[in-house]
Amino acid sequence: MRYFTLFLLFCSFSSFAQKQGFFPIDSIPANGLVLNQGWKLQVGDDPEWAQSAYDDTQWAAIDPTQDFKNIPELWESRTVWFRLKFRVDSSFTQKTLACLVAQTGASEVFLNGKMIGSFGKIADQNGKVLAYTPRNGTSIGLPLHQSGAQVLAVRFAVQKKLPYIVFADRPNVALSLHLIEAKNLGRYLLNDLTPYFEFGRLGLYLILAVIHFALFRFNKKEKANLYFFLYTLAFLFSIFLISIVYRHFDLAATRMLLLSMVSILNGLGLFFFLQAAYQIFGTTKGYTFWFLSLFFGVSLILLYSNYHHGFNIGFNLLSILISFETGRIAWLSTRKKQRGAGIILAGSIGFVVFFCLFYLFAWGSIDPGPNWIWGHIAINLGFISIPVSVSIYLALESSFASQSLAEKLKEVELLSQRTLAQELEKQALLATQNETLERQVAERTTELQQSLETLRSTQTQLIQREKMASLGELTAGIAHEIQNPLNFVNNFAEVSSEMIDELQTEINQGNTEEVQSIATDLKQNLDKINHHGKRASSIVKNMLEHSRTSSGQKTATDLNTLVDECLRLSFHGLRAQVKGFQADYALELAEQLPLVTLVSQDIGRVLLNLFNNAFYAVDQQQKRGGDKDYQPKVIASSHLSDQGIEIRISDNGSGIPIALQDKIFQPFFTTKPSGEGTGLGLSLSYDIITKGHQGNLRVESVEGRGTTFIIELPLK
């Protein structure tokens, strides 16, 4: 009966307290009590509102623990006040109490008119609000020195124009005061499972990032590992940022900036994952990919343009859409019976299912369990379902590749054995063939040596023939040249014989004066005979020098004299050989040229060959008869240059075509008709000038106008 009476008194007291607007606090659970009832709200700013005696019966009822974007008064005014009247019994005065604080804004907390804590600045020196979002575990002491009625008043303001990011498991509450006994504060914080799940996800993503980066380094052709590595890396940084944001950053601006980066990293990571899926299934990017890219851009814009709405749902929806796209291409690949596609399809389905379950927990449709355990499990299973499924797929692919490689290695071993047997047979056959080839090579080598000796002999004969042909031309010229002095000798000899007869007659007659006159004339005739005899002797000597084999001995030589002699010999030789040959020649020799040390027989052959070619060219041009005024002419000139002595032999013949100018110094190349030239003259001349005398022999020719051969001989 006594307990029943006490119960009735308690009910009467409670009813009275509630009528007076006081929220009764009779006990505090071990995990604390969230003060979310009995609060009132008033827009404006008045210090009197912090006092216990102030009458707030006209204020509007409010639950300050809801998401602050759902409280329009916070955005329509500069400052608001929250008030909570509560009543405690005397037992609480013996306990040490604390309030865990969570808020999105700036606040000043008063207990019975006395400030017990402040977070942020409601108005700084510039009159701006500096929001403060306490890190997890931030608390203020609640000193209850007396029992009975108590009043909590909170002066509150939000910092506008911040991109407030909203995560379903961490809503941006306006103000939450969680009453708890100080002795249970540590136990309460230990019961927070969020850090354990975050560290678990960090470890998992770190392991996956290292594995797939290593796989990509070993096989860079597999781009899926690169994209999956970038996906895990983005989510790794995202999880890391979330874990430190709520534990180390209090300013709302800094926290919201970092949470924006989290959203962006999540979006980028999802796109890297989608790229990996496209790479795995060999799918090209289509309209869906570009739509999702556009959606990502729009989400970024909305993230920074909807300040107090905290528009983060775009990124949450993006993750679901990308999961659907992954599931779609996995489903299509499954229908095509692509190996392992079902695993990724299951991961995509798991992601959607677990995230939908998580949002049901977050929205309160399903009880998330103590300490939000089922909510944590759902979101973490959603996060890991896709990467785990992809890792399983890639592991199975690696296993399949290893099995295929093992089977191929067996095939290679069998093929190697067969190849070895075939190789032995081939080696035996090759040895036999080598012996045969060596014998045949020896026989062919002997034949080639004999052919080479024959070619050398033939070449020697051809060279000798060219020399003999040159000698024949020289002999014909000498014969014509020597004929003139011989004619003079014969004529003067006959005249001298007649004069002797006259001399004897005059002596017999005793005509002394006539005898002396005849003797004087006779002496003059003898001098002329002697002169022309020496001239003939000189011509014969030069002929012998040109005809004999060169000794290779270099002597000091007058080039002008050598050019003159060779030009005359060539001219008279062609006159003797070619019937009707007519041509003019001219000498333009520089005076006082220094002597040049050279092999005169060899240089003489070169000059004779070039003069013969020049006279032949003008003779052929005249025979064509194209121009009635044509006058064949060969000009030989010499002059001193910086390089030495230069001899030019020019003709006004038909010239040499450009296509043939690079070939004329090649052995056996000739433009003359068959039987008229061996093609060795210019080749031998080139070797004599360049190799024998370190000079140069070149040609300048204009087709239809003439040719000039230029000999350059160094003085030393």
* pLDDT tens, position by position, 364-423: 667 666 656 676 677 677 777 777 777 777 777 767 766 777 788 888 888 888 888 888
If you count DSSP H runs as helices and E runs as strands, how many of each does the chain have, helices first?
Answer: 16, 18
CA distance 35 to 111: 14
Predicted local confidence at residue 307, as pLDDT: 46
**pLDDT range class, residue 541, cuts 50, 70, 90:** low
The count of other CB atoms within 10 Å of the CB of residue 20 is: 11
The reported pTM is 0.44
Query: DSSP string of 322-357?
Result: HHHHHHHHHHHHHHTT-TTHHHHHHHHHHHHHHHHH
CA distance 255 to 172: 12
Looking up tokens 């090579």 gives 441
CA distance 697 to 702: 17
Predicted local confidence at residue 19, as pLDDT: 41
CA distance 482 to 535: 8
Predicted local confidence at residue 709, as pLDDT: 92
**pLDDT range class, residue 62, cuts 50, 70, 90:** very high
CA distance 373 to 456: 104
Higher pLDDT, 192 or 96: 96
Predicted local confidence at residue 18, as pLDDT: 40
The count of other CB atoms within 10 Å of the CB of residue 294 is: 10
**pLDDT range class, residue 461, cuts 50, 70, 90:** low
- pLDDT over 80 at 651, yes or no: yes
Question: Which one of 99-108, 169-178, 548-557 scores highest in mean pLDDT?
Answer: 99-108
Predicted local confidence at residue 9, as pLDDT: 37
Instruction: Give the chain's radius of gyration (CA, Å).
Output: 61
Helix (H, G, I), strand (E, B) or coil at 447: helix
- pLDDT over 60 at 324, yes or no: yes
Task: With CA atoms as reference, report the closest residue to 621 among 661, 650, 662, 651.
Answer: 651
Cβ distance 651 to 570 under 8 Å? no
CA distance 716 to 714: 5
CB neighbours of 177 closer than 8 A, spacing ≥ 6?
A: 34, 35, 99, 100, 101, 109, 152
- pLDDT over 90 at 428, yes or no: no
Stated as kind and residue range, the H or E segment containing 10 is helix 2-19
Task: With CA atoms as reference, report the closest residue to 562 among 605, 617, 618, 614.
Answer: 605
* pLDDT tens, position by position, 479-509: 556 666 776 677 767 767 777 877 788 788 8
Flag the least confident range among 202-216, 432-446, 537-551, 654-668. Answer: 537-551
User: Which residues make beta-bridge pairs with 447?
Assistant: none
CB neighbours of 159 closer than 8 A, spacing ≥ 6?
A: 105, 106, 120, 128, 129, 130, 131, 252, 253
Task: With CA atoms as reference, report the closest residue to 682 among 698, 703, 701.
Answer: 698
Average pLDDT over residues 109-122: 89
Predicted local confidence at residue 17, as pLDDT: 40
- pLDDT over 50 at 15, yes or no: no
The full set of domains in the chain, from first to last, is 19-190 (2.60.120.260), 194-403 (1.20.1070.10), 552-713 (3.30.565.10)
**pLDDT range class, residue 4, cuts 50, 70, 90:** very low
**pLDDT range class, residue 155, cuts 50, 70, 90:** very high
pLDDT mean across residues, the chain: 77
Task: With CA atoms as reference, report the closest residue to 93 among 143, 151, 141.
Answer: 143
As a whole-number percent, the residues of the chain with pLDDT over 70 amount to 78
Higher pLDDT, 189 or 457: 457
- pLDDT over 80 at 243, yes or no: no
